[in-house]
Amino acid sequence: MTSSLPHSRQRSATRRPDSAPSNDGGGTGTSGAGTSGTAPHGRGSDASVTSGAPRLILVDDNIRSIGGHFFELATLLIDGAQSMGYQCVLATHHSFQETKSVPPSCQTVPIFQTRRMVRWSLGVDGQSKVQRNVSGKPIGGSRLQNLQTSLADWINPPTKRPANMIAQWSSDFVRLMQQIQPTSADSLVINTCDDFAMLALADAVSKIDLPAMRIDVIFHFAAYENDTADRKSILQSIGRQLRDTIQRIQPHQVHLHATTTALASQLRETDCGCPVLSIPYPTRQRRVAVPSTHPSVKAVFAGLPRAEKGRGSISSLISGIESTLLKSGRIQLSMQMPADRWESMIPASMHRHYHQAVAATDQGGPVTGPLEIMTSNLSTTDYHRWLDTADLGLFLYDPQRYVARCSGVLLEMLVRGVPVIVPDGCWLADQVRLAGGHRSIGFIYQDRAEIPELIQQFVKHRADIQARSIAHAQKVARHHHAANTLQVMGLPTVVDQAQAA
């Protein structure tokens, strides 16, 4: 069940960046939430089969619901691809049921029975320590290391063992291909890929006769962090694993993409045998708004609080601004909060205000206190409408985890012209520096203890910072439009493709 957005002050929408195509139907979140007939296999249109139009086949086993950035990325790429003339197919986790939230012209196939392949990546977010073959068997270590790794694999539940996850993903992919019958004119995009998922892809394509296709894979997660001690050996292992899989995937044309320049550089360091292109992560186009004139600044922590997003620092930050900014009415802090773990993130002195905020949200009325609490299961539309009310975006992210990793939430703020406060030493700070640096469209901090003072500086210089943020939003919208992302990846428009043929 999803919650509705409560009544809240809204930044007045006035204009859209001129050169950014509109794809959000007036700023209501995910497009295409209409009804359509049921296709023989999956929901959606089979027009591409009869019309001969090339298809973009988007694969993401992580999509189980409309919440989160997996689904957001997929729908943005669908919008971009359709604007370029492609028909689309979206393959998701088998539990995905909200197919009416996908544009009706896109065929949706909920088919994958395993997910989160990054669990066994050799990179930062994975548990693997040695190279594996396409069956998931450890092969990159000494005989003892490989044996120890195999034993450790068996400790996991059967469905989470590397070999079983590869076998399941591979089997599901084969069924997908048999179902949609791709042609050489179609293109395949693996939305959320990593070195382990590449093993499953290589295993799958070896088991089915497919026409030679273009395959684009998008990497999101870092190979190493700045303080990783065994960086060289990790890069070598990833490189060997990727080279093996890319060779096995031939004659298909594999194109590797990274969502940040730092991640692209890391992947190039692996000597993976394939060029790696840095691409702009797409964000939903929004109307640039006239800044709120409300005397209280609405500071938003967007996205669910996780460890790498500074969950453990929320309570101390609230304590640091409680008397000077929150209870004085100068700041309202708005955040998504899970109903079962909020007490560790809200200081005891603010518990009364938390309960008042939750009650106001549940009743759909205005939230006037120092806190605004949104549920953890906002619909796409309500999520974006909530962000439309932000005056300031706050980011407590761990910079080590975001050195080579992008933040979709940051882009969602920047495309709206919302000033931000971000940590130094990571991709988020790089984006602020592109706009002019510290004090341009926001602030860059070295330590989270600086945030209360930076918020006060924002309050003092609010009008100037907001004006610069709104001007920069036009550049963000152009660069991070989904059609531009696909074009940077090298996908031609359908007209260009037809002329080339």
**pLDDT at position 284, please?**
92
**pLDDT at position 495, please?**
65
Give the separation between CA 383 and CA 69, rounded to whole angstroms: 11
Q: Is residue 330 situated within a structural domain?
A: yes
How many angstroms from the chain centroid is the CA of residue 250?
29
Give the separation between CA 361 and CA 134, rounded to whole angstroms: 49
Q: What is the mean pLDDT of the chain?
A: 87
Do 317 and 338 lie in a common domain? Answer: yes
How many angstroms from the chain centroid is the CA of residue 51?
32
Give the separation between CA 48 and CA 427, rounded to whole angstroms: 39
Q: Is residue 191 situated within a structural domain?
A: yes
C-alpha angle with apex 490: 89 to 28, nearest 5 degrees?
A: 50
Percentage of the residues of the chain whose pLDDT score is greater than 90: 68
Do 239 and 134 lie in a common domain? Answer: yes
pLDDT in tens, 77-136: 999 999 999 999 999 999 999 998 898 899 999 999 999 999 999 999 999 999 999 999
Do 299 and 422 lie in a common domain? Answer: yes
Do 312 and 269 lie in a common domain? Answer: no
Q: Is residue 17 situated within a structural domain?
A: no
Average pLDDT for 223-234: 85
Do 275 and 363 lie in a common domain? Answer: no
SS3 15: strand
- The CATH number assigned to the domain holding 309 equals 3.40.50.2000
- The CATH number assigned to the domain holding 178 equals 3.40.50.11930
Residue 158: partners with Cβ closer than 8 Å, 6 or more residues away: 164
Please, which pLDDT band fits residue 41 given cuts at 50, 70 and 90? very low
Asked if the model's pLDDT at residue 310 lies above 90, the reply is no
Higher-pLDDT residue of 44 and 241 is 241
Do 259 and 213 lie in a common domain? Answer: yes
**pLDDT at position 27, please?**
34
Do 128 and 170 lie in a common domain? Answer: yes
Q: Is residue 16 situated within a structural domain?
A: no
Are 113 and 94 in contact by the 8 Å Cβ rule? The answer is yes
**pLDDT at position 5, please?**
53
Higher-pLDDT residue of 36 and 416 is 416
**pLDDT at position 51, please?**
54
Q: Is residue 2 situated within a structural domain?
A: no
Give the separation between CA 217 and CA 248, rounded to whole angstroms: 15
Average pLDDT for 9-23: 42
**pLDDT at position 352, please?**
92
Please, which pLDDT band fits residue 254 given cuts at 50, 70 and 90? very high
pLDDT in tens, 388-422: 999 999 999 999 999 999 999 999 999 999 999 99
**pLDDT at position 368, please?**
85
Average pLDDT for 62-70: 88
**pLDDT at position 407, please?**
94
Average pLDDT for 160-181: 97
Percentage of the residues of the chain whose pLDDT score is greater than 70: 87
Are 225 and 400 in contact by the 8 Å Cβ rule? The answer is yes
Give the separation between CA 107 and CA 86, rounded to whole angstroms: 12
Q: Is residue 9 situated within a structural domain?
A: no
Are 210 and 186 in contact by the 8 Å Cβ rule? The answer is no
**Which range of residues forms the domain containing residue 405?**
288-479
pLDDT in tens, 348-372: 999 999 898 888 888 877 888 899 9
Could you tell me the two tokens for 270? Answer: 């692996």
Query: Is this structure's pTM higher than 0.95?
Result: no
**pLDDT at position 498, please?**
54
pLDDT in tens, 256-282: 999 999 999 999 999 998 999 999 999
**pLDDT at position 61, please?**
97
Q: Which amino acid is at 443?
A: F
Do 390 and 299 lie in a common domain? Answer: yes
Are 23 and 285 in contact by the 8 Å Cβ rule? The answer is yes
Asked if the model's pLDDT at residue 182 lies above 90, the reply is yes
pLDDT in tens, 123-141: 999 999 999 999 999 999 9
Helix H, strand E, coil C: the string for 365-385 is: CCCCCCEEEECCCECHHHHHH
Do 140 and 201 lie in a common domain? Answer: yes
Average pLDDT for 477-501: 85
Q: Is residue 73 situated within a structural domain?
A: yes
Q: Is the dihedral of CA 401, 402, 404, 406 positive or negative?
A: positive
Cis before 157? omega within 30: no
Do 164 and 215 lie in a common domain? Answer: yes
Do 130 and 181 lie in a common domain? Answer: yes
Asked if the model's pLDDT at residue 496 lies above 70, the reply is no
Do 320 and 262 lie in a common domain? Answer: no
Per the structure, how many domains does the chain have?
A: 2
Are 389 and 6 in contact by the 8 Å Cβ rule? The answer is no
**pLDDT at position 360, please?**
85
Residue 156: partners with Cβ closer than 8 Å, 6 or more residues away: none
Average pLDDT for 430-454: 95
Q: Is residue 11 situated within a structural domain?
A: no
